[in-house]
Structure 1
Amino acid sequence: MGKAAACLRGVTALLFATVLCPSVRADEAPPVSPDKPAAAYVTPSRVSATIEFSIPTLARDIERDVPRRLATFDERVQCVHRRVLFFRVRANCDIEGYVERTGPISLYGRGDALIGSTPIFGAVSGQGANRFTRRIHGNAEAGVSVEAEARPMLRHDWSLDLRLSDSYHWTEPPVLHVLGRDIQLARYVEPRIREQLARVRVRAAEAVRRLDLHDKAATVWRHAFTPIELADNPPVWLQLTPQSAAFAGVRADRRVLWGVMQIEGNAATSVGVAPAPVAATPLPALGRDIEAPGKFEVILPVNIGYDFLSQKIKEVAAAELKGKLTLEDVKIYPSNGKLIVGLKIAKSTETAPDAGTWYYLSATPKIDPDTQTLQLPDLATLAAKTQALAQESGNADLIDRLRQAKILYQEAYQRLLAAANKSLTRPLKDGFRMEGHLDSATLDHIALLQNGLSIALRASGDLKILYGL
């Protein structure tokens, strides 16, 4: 530690000795050689697409196709088959009645399932079928609760499999009392109930098909290709290029049913003019199912001008200089992957407009995305080799102070982030809307461009395309 500090003080002292000794020449300025700007910053990314539907509206649509009276029946059955004294009595009865809904179809969501139910009432009457049994008669009423459960799933061809199961149970089974005997009528009524449940399944599937999920998914897919201007000063553009789609399941609560899919592709960010439009491709077949959509990622280029950096370096250096030296100017520019820091230093006694000599240092910028600061930890002198004897100037720690200086780029980053989040939340056509929010960032790379330093941050968050409520 002592040797390093001594070496650093020696280098800094040598720099100032050059100023104090007229015989020492100034540094030769390194050439201006910026990095080539990227046409676009491209990264894999994911977009969540959610299509929402009103469960009460879906229930009304299904109910519209299900009649109030579900079935009527009129059948002849053997209602008496018993021995009376020495005689075996066989008697037929005419059974007639109806089954109907006594309430609306109730539909609600629970997790990944859609639950439906409706109450059913049945009335049955029976009477002897010939002149010997016509005085045999009876009436019965019954209640049935019908329940159905669907766990919708999209097939690879975008058709919907409801995976519907239904059941019913008697709250009050139909029993006909004839000659002291109970005749169970459920076996005559249940086939009609099962027949109607099959029709309800067909009508429910038709109602869901009318939701037209394929068409809505295709519209989401097309919207994802539309370029988005994330910021306007300078213009920053986002171009998504979707490549695949995956089903991420169905969720539901009491009133809303929503299906989720993930669109995966590339997110390209560019600075300047709007990118050339990318033609939307047809909606592809669904890929493998996933548990949940992944994170949306995009590279945000934060531009820090060299004038801004020069001013910050000047503030640190000017505060450190003492005694016979003054800092006249600072200039910063790129040279072959390095950031060049030029310091123009003069003796305090010099008053000419062009007084002072330029000395150059080089560094590789270091970025801390968490604190949103920039540092030059490896700042080193490029001073001409001189044999001048370093003189005590009181400025031996200048370079060390410049290395430790933290330059905040927080304002530029927050301004770009706020503009991007505002642009990612907007209405779309055809009843669709986009909601996006970026909330964290890591460093991707740094580019030393002609007019400033570009900090490419890999920002992540959520981007959703929504349809419905």
Structure 2
Amino acid sequence: MHVKAFAALLLIGSLAACDRRAAVEAPPRATDKAPSPTQKSLIAVPINANTASLKQTLERAVPRTLWTINQREPACVQPQRVKVFGKKVKVTPPIACTIVGQVTRGPLRLRGEGSDIVVDIPLSARISARDVGGVLKGETATGAAMAHARITVELTPDWRTQGKARITYGWTKAPGIDFLGRRITFTDEADAKLKPVVRDVEREVNREIAKIDIRKQAADVWRQSFTALELNRENPPVWMRVTPQRILYGGYHIEGDRMNLNLGLEAITETFVSGRPADPEPTALPRLVREVPKPHLDVRVPVIADYAVLQPVVDRALGKRSARPFILPKLGSMMVKFGKSTIYGAPGGRIAVGVDIEAKLEMRSGAPTKGRIWMTGIPVNNPGSAEVHFTDLIINGDTDGVGGDLLLVLGRSEGFAPLIAAALTQNFAHDLGELQDKIRRAVDQRREGPFVIRTRVERFETGVIKAYGNGMYLPVRMVGGASVDYRPPR
């Protein structure tokens, strides 16, 4: 007998002797679930305070006629002198007069300069000088000035507003008259009358600033930010739960009649691949933290591949392979028929694959050997890559026929394990791209109750895959920015 044939018969006999041992159990099933990723994000939450009421209050508080004057001056025009023999001699007496006039204001104009609210107050002066002797025949002086009330607003840690106003003005045309070749101005008289008016305006401004209620808006935003936002409607449904932690305040700027507060909502963002998670329980509005917010959205979007998706892929690969024999060292060729595979998560981040097999050596007579081969492996990918392959393959099995360990020889042959591993190898780039496109469209701009949410996704980053009981988990990080504009229904 040929040496190789004799050796093969010895091996078959030894395999048959092993049939009596206990069947090998299937690998245990993992019961852990992929985590719901948790991260901190800072969402811009601009709050707008209307300053139109400030203008209306000032319009009421600042009278149209700021002051009037009607007073006798003993020397509106000083005596005129000439030199005679080296000495100045008075040639005309001082001219007394009565100064009559008023200063009025025009419409107030509110505008913003950075963090200042500026109230422009146009002033007009009209003053007449009359004297008993008739020398000044009702000379009239006109003047113009622009007063500027510069208002700054301070937001305290307990959300109260405090105002500080400072008013300046300058005469663009000082009120005065020309008489006997000289200019007579009345700015001192006008200034004396304006000072108490300025104090009144400053007091009204500060009183009105304190009425701006930022706290109520902030409390509404804070309370309603404890919510869940839909990132993807279906295939798969993805939700982001927002749990606010604190509010940062980075000042304000003025646009027209609105004061825009630069606020940032620091929140824990959790992502769920499931139905809508329960909203977190709201907490009381915290004290304001004075810190310039740097909005950023940092969300982990879990991409979970169900094991059921892998089964038909493996079955198709095995079906194609069964068309040609496996060549086993020292045993020769073996024809193999494959049944449906079973795939699930196993402990230790492994995936278990069980395949029903009916195998028969061509050189051996009798019934084929039937049983199941089990293989476990660890899914791996390179960071940033969506292509997944398998390493650390371990083969085990159980049989019901003569030559029980024959299937283990098949499973551990060079052609079997790589075949299963190649069938399991997946490139999720297409699925990941579709999910990213869905998320971009879903979060671009949308309304959720009183909020208008704008999200800017700058990039997606792929992490390292891991197997869990409920599927393969490929973490994807979504980085960008987000703002929530509070627009309650009017």
TM-based fold match above 0.5: yes
Q: 1:437 to 1:172 in 2, by over 3 A?
A: same
Residue matched to 1:107 = 110
Partner amino acid, structure 2, of 1:181? R
Of the three residues 407, 413, 419, the one matched with 1:398 is: 419
1:65-80 equivalences in 2 (<5 Å): 65-77=61-73, 78-80=75-77
Residue matched to 2:98 = 94
Residue matched to 2:391 = 378
Tell me, in whole angstroms, the C-alpha distance in 2 between the residues paired with 1:348 and 1:56: 90
Partner amino acid, structure 2, of 1:123? R
Residue matched to 1:413 = 435
Partner amino acid, structure 1, of 2:98? D
Q: 1:72 to 1:365 in 2, by over 3 A?
A: farther
User: What is the identity percentage for the equivalent residue pairs of Structure 1 and Structure 2?
Assistant: 23
DSSP 3-state at the match of 2:45? strand
Residue matched to 1:462 = 481
Tell me, in whole angstroms, the C-alpha distance in 2 between the residues paired with 1:64 and 1:467: 31
Tell me, in whole angstroms, the C-alpha distance in 1 between the residues paired with 2:186 and 2:320: 101
Q: 1:444 to 1:23 in 2, by over 3 A?
A: same
Of the three residues 418, 428, 432, the one matched with 2:449 is: 428
CA contact (8 A) 2:313 2:423 kept: no
DSSP 3-state at the match of 1:293? coil
Tell me, in whole angstroms, the C-alpha distance in 2 between the residues paired with 1:30 and 1:396: 16
Of the three residues 66, 79, 83, the one matched with 1:82 is: 79
CA contact (8 A) 1:261 1:293 kept: no
Q: 1:419 to 1:311 in 2, by over 3 A?
A: farther
Residue matched to 2:86 = none
Partner amino acid, structure 2, of 1:376? H
Tell me, in whole angstroms, the C-alpha distance in 1 between the residues paired with 2:312 and 2:58: 70
Q: Deviations over 1:242-284 (max 9, x none)?
A: 2222112223445754112112232344565765654433322
Between the two proteins, the alignment pairs up a number of residues equal to 440
Compute the displacement of 1:208 (Å): 4.1
Tell me, in whole angstroms, the C-alpha distance in 2 between the residues paired with 1:22 and 1:419: 62
Q: Give the number of the structure whose alpha-carbon radius of gyration is greater.
A: 2
Partner amino acid, structure 1, of 2:123? I
Residue matched to 1:146 = 147
More contact order relative to length (CA 8 Å, sep ≥ 6): 1
CA contact (8 A) 2:34 2:471 kept: no
Residue matched to 1:451 = 470
Structure 2 unpaired stretches of 5+: 1-10, 83-88, 326-335, 398-404
Compute the displacement of 1:117 (Å): 2.4
Compute the displacement of 1:185 (Å): 1.2
Q: 1:176 to 1:62 in 2, by over 3 A?
A: same
Partner amino acid, structure 2, of 1:156? P
Tell me, in whole angstroms, the C-alpha distance in 1 between the residues paired with 2:289 and 2:246: 7
Q: 1:354 to 1:196 in 2, by over 3 A?
A: farther
DSSP 3-state at the match of 1:364? strand
Q: 1:119 to 1:338 in 2, by over 3 A?
A: same
Structure 1 unpaired stretches of 5+: 1-16
Tell me, in whole angstroms, the C-alpha distance in 2 between the residues paired with 1:204 and 1:348: 97
CA contact (8 A) 2:352 2:374 kept: no
Give the TM-score normalised by the residue count of structure 2: 0.72
Of the three residues 363, 367, 370, the one matched with 2:378 is: 363
Give the TM-score normalised by the residue count of structure 1: 0.75
Compute the displacement of 1:189 (Å): 1.2
Partner amino acid, structure 1, of 2:99? I
1:324-363 equivalences in 2 (<5 Å): 324=325, 325=336, 327-336=338-347, 337-344=349-356, 346=358, 357-363=372-378
Q: 1:227 to 1:138 in 2, by over 3 A?
A: same
Partner amino acid, structure 1, of 2:125? G
Q: 1:454 to 1:183 in 2, by over 3 A?
A: same
CA RMSD of aligned residues (A): 4.4
Partner amino acid, structure 1, of 2:484? I
Partner amino acid, structure 2, of 1:281? T
Q: 1:288 to 1:304 in 2, by over 3 A?
A: same
Residue matched to 2:127 = 124
DSSP 3-state at the match of 2:223? helix
Tell me, in whole angstroms, the C-alpha distance in 2 between the residues paired with 1:353 and 1:126: 129
